[in-house]
Structure 1
């Protein structure tokens, strides 16, 4: 992925399994794919960890340190970004801290 964060999701159906992701690329379902979270991404470490754990629990496959790559220039959502986002009532946001993270 080259931009965005966990404010939108996507669903992948594999046989009888329904997998939902917000950060991980859908290419995770293909063992020959490298998974890249690129420069323009805003990454919430907690959400990423939850998605990775869910994937490993569901499939038994580990992608950390093997085929998941995160750009050193990706933006990291911190707790205070979410708090700042919650204070902004002028525009409707998802409250996930994406706007304040990009602003930093």
Structure 2
């Protein structure tokens, strides 16, 4: 995840590179884009490792105290993905309507 996120071109990196070319400082622009990509890759990798560690701690805690003792967590585990997906669809529809009406 970290490597892929750091290698994906971003619009801001393209703007920096084009600005550097326009100023005649192409090497500096390339260095900035490489630094940005490495930083993004490192950040995403560390976030992924943190989530893996967190999952391991939660799973070890769940073995000690099973989930059936926590009705709120059980309900959240059932409804959380549905609520999240509905939120993503709602935001997508809102952005689509905004773009279609020309208010964006």
Normalised to the residue count of structure 2, the TM-score between the two structures is: 0.25
Larger strand proportion of the pair: 1
Larger helix proportion of the pair: 2
Q: Greater CA radius of gyration, 1 or 2?
A: 2
Normalised to the residue count of structure 1, the TM-score between the two structures is: 0.25
